[in-house]
């Protein structure tokens, strides 16, 4: 499997908390101690040396270093520098709580709720864009563009994303299909081959049906791609390639509200990169589909005025000819 690599300079302090939260369930026990401690004491890396942090968490400096590398840093020093540059030593705790740890409560005003949502979605989009492996995205887009068949698997909320990508790819001439029912998905997965691409979408990366369909497609020979927020998930680890998103905050449901936004960002990029590869085909297919549906769309006000003026001139001409 080839997953995207996080540049050490790209992960802000806001990104750190998301990565800790995402990876915490899959961390070894010693690393999980460090992760839990940092979520409770976000200013710790700004105050403690690596030895002191190891003592506070009852681990070892080597474990702290492995923890930093798991988050995408070369070591503890780059980890500290990144957080310091983003937050500043003087107000680390308050900034972390106000800007990173902000959720919402039952007494918040609609304006506060809106602000929280915008903040969370914006951070998620920025963090996902910052760590995106563009070379990998381009490779995936080219494989899709040249494939004979694309399967896209998603269950529940991810099924909406699967359908969205399928409809876009299909419109520009890609033989794409989406599956949200496991029996039908497994049937399709089983008949794939080395010219096929299979994409599994799951925010948690633990949806069993999606995992089964993607594995079946892989066994049949397809290139398998996982789109998930969890780099250590079974879905990401079992795929040939993994695209990892960054979702900020948790709200009222396990499938975070920001997850759809970052997933759609990734799918939009895939769609546009595929369109670039097959540009001539893309433009002709889009023009044909637009023409096909145009009779079913009401004209704009400007178009109606223009049509009315044209008819008036035509009728006036007929009247003059009659006279």
Buried b / exposed e over 178-216, threshold 16 CB at 10 Å, is: bbbebeebbebbeebeeebbbbbbbbbbebebbbbbbbb
Asked if residue 111 is part of any domain, the answer here is no
Do 171 and 234 lie in a common domain? yes
* Mean pLDDT of all residues belonging to the chain: 82
Confidence of residue 9 (pLDDT cuts 50, 70, 90): very low
pLDDT of residue 188: 98
Asked if residue 117 is part of any domain, the answer here is no
Confidence of residue 104 (pLDDT cuts 50, 70, 90): low
Last residue of a domain, one of 47, 80, 100: 100
Do 165 and 252 lie in a common domain? yes
Task: Say if residues 200 and 302 touch (Cβ distance below 8 Å).
Answer: no
* 152 or 294, which is more confident: 152
pLDDT of residue 201: 97
State percent of the chain over pLDDT 90.
Answer: 44
- Distance between CA atoms of residues 163 and 128, nearest Å: 22
Do 32 and 154 lie in a common domain? no
Do 318 and 261 lie in a common domain? no
Confidence of residue 185 (pLDDT cuts 50, 70, 90): very high
Residue 101 clears pLDDT 50, i.e. is over it:
no
- Distance between CA atoms of residues 238 and 244, nearest Å: 14
**91-100, 148-157, 309-318: segment of lowest average pLDDT:** 91-100
Total number of domains in the chain: 3
pLDDT of residue 102: 52
Do 138 and 273 lie in a common domain? yes
**108-122, 199-213, 216-230: segment of lowest average pLDDT:** 108-122
Do 200 and 95 lie in a common domain? no
- Distance between CA atoms of residues 58 and 53, nearest Å: 8
Domain region containing 295:
282-322
Asked if residue 223 is part of any domain, the answer here is yes
Asked if residue 25 is part of any domain, the answer here is yes
Last residue of a domain, one of 56, 76, 100: 100
pLDDT of residue 99: 45
Task: Say if residues 263 and 201 touch (Cβ distance below 8 Å).
Answer: yes
Confidence of residue 174 (pLDDT cuts 50, 70, 90): very high
Q: What is the CATH number of the domain that holds 267?
A: 3.40.50.10490
| Model confidence pLDDT, tens digit, residues 240-263 | 999 988 775 555 444 466 788 889
- Distance between CA atoms of residues 8 and 3, nearest Å: 15
**71-75, 97-101, 104-108, 168-172: segment of lowest average pLDDT:** 97-101
* 177 or 45, which is more confident: 177
Confidence of residue 7 (pLDDT cuts 50, 70, 90): very low
Asked if residue 123 is part of any domain, the answer here is no
| Model confidence pLDDT, tens digit, residues 29-44 | 999 999 999 988 877 8
- Distance between CA atoms of residues 130 and 239, nearest Å: 22
Q: What is the CATH number of the domain that holds 39?
A: 1.10.10.10
Which whole number is the average pLDDT over 197-203? 96
Most confident residue range from 170-174, 185-189, 225-229, 283-287: 185-189
Do 251 and 166 lie in a common domain? yes
C-alpha distances out from residue 216 to 177, 191, 254, Å: 15, 9, 26
Do 24 and 75 lie in a common domain? yes
Residue 236 gets the label, from left (phi > 0), alpha (psi -120 to 50) or beta, of alpha
Asked if residue 30 is part of any domain, the answer here is yes
Do 272 and 140 lie in a common domain? yes
Which whole number is the average pLDDT over 168-178? 96
Task: Say if residues 223 and 240 touch (Cβ distance below 8 Å).
Answer: yes
Do 270 and 300 lie in a common domain? no
Do 146 and 73 lie in a common domain? no
Do 264 and 170 lie in a common domain? yes
Last residue of a domain, one of 84, 100, 116: 100
Asked if residue 113 is part of any domain, the answer here is no
């Amino acid at each position: 499997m080839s997953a995207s690599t996080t540049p050490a300079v790209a992960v802000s302090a806001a990104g750190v908390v998301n990565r800790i939260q995402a990876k915490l369930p899959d961390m070894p026990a010693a690393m999980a101690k460090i992760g839990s401690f940092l979520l409770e004491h976000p200013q710790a890396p700004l105050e403690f040396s690596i030895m002191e942090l190891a003592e506070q968490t009852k681990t070892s400096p080597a474990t702290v270093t492995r923890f930093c590398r798991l988050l995408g840093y070369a070591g503890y020093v780059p980890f500290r520098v990144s957080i310091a540059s983003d937050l500043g030593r003087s107000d680390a705790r308050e900034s972390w709580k106000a800007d990173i740890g902000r959720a919402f409560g039952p007494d918040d005003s609609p304006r506060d709720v809106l602000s929280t949502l915008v903040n969370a979605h914006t951070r998620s989009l920025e963090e996902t864009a910052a760590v995106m492996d563009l070379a990998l995205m381009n490779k995936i887009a080219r494989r899709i563009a040249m494939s004979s068949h694309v399967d896209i698997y998603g269950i529940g909320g991810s099924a909406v994303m699967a359908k969205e990508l399928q409809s876009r790819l299909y419109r520009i001439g890609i033989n794409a299909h989406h599956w949200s029912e496991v029996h039908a998905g497994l049937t399709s997965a089983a008949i794939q081959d080395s010219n096929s691409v299979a994409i599994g979408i799951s925010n948690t990366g633990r949806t069993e049906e999606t995992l089964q369909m993607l594995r079946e497609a892989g066994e049949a020979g397809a290139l398998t791609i996982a789109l998930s927020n969890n780099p250590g998930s079974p879905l990401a680890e079992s795929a040939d390639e993994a695209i990892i998103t960054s979702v900020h905050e948790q709200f009222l449901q396990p499938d975070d509200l920001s997850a759809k936004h970052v997933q759609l960002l990734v799918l939009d990029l895939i769609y546009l990169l595929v369109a670039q590869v097959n540009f001539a085909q893309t433009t002709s297919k889009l023009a044909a589909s637009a023409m096909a549906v145009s009779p079913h769309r009401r004209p704009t006000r400007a178009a109606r005025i223009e049509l009315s003026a044209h008819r008036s001139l035509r009728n006036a001409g007929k009247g003059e000819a009659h006279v």
